[in-house]
Amino acid sequence: MGHRITNKVSIGGDNSGRITQTGIEAGGAESAVSSLLELVERLTTEVRGRDLAKQEVLEDTLTDLAADLRAGEAAEPAVVRSRWEKVKGLLGGVVQFSELVAKISDQVQKIFA
């Protein structure tokens, strides 16, 4: 017979902590923020060099947002949401970024709501 996991898990009450199963950690906020940072950096790269309205303001705000995300837990949720709303407003109507904007919006909502 092969190896069997015999530990039973009972979840009740506050279960907002990390979940570890057979040595694999899951559910950490760090990975979500890291994923969000990758999306923001991708958007920054795609926006850079374009001739968009308020280009400089857009690039500066994206740079500030990326810095906030790198700060991890030190990042103020209200500041992150505010910066993202500003970026969304500046990119409003620019169709080529709509999919990426939607993905980032979803992540910001989930992480910093």
Q: What is the pLDDT of residues 76-87, one digit of tens each?
A: 999 999 999 999
Q: pLDDT digits over 54-108, tens only?
A: 999 999 999 999 999 999 888 899 999 999 999 999 998 888 999 999 999 999 9
Q: Report the C-alpha gap between 45 and 26 in whole angstroms.
A: 29
Cβ burial of 55 (10 Å; 0-12, 13-18, 19+) is: middle
pLDDT at 35: 92
| Cα distance from N-terminal residue to C-terminal residue, the chain | 48
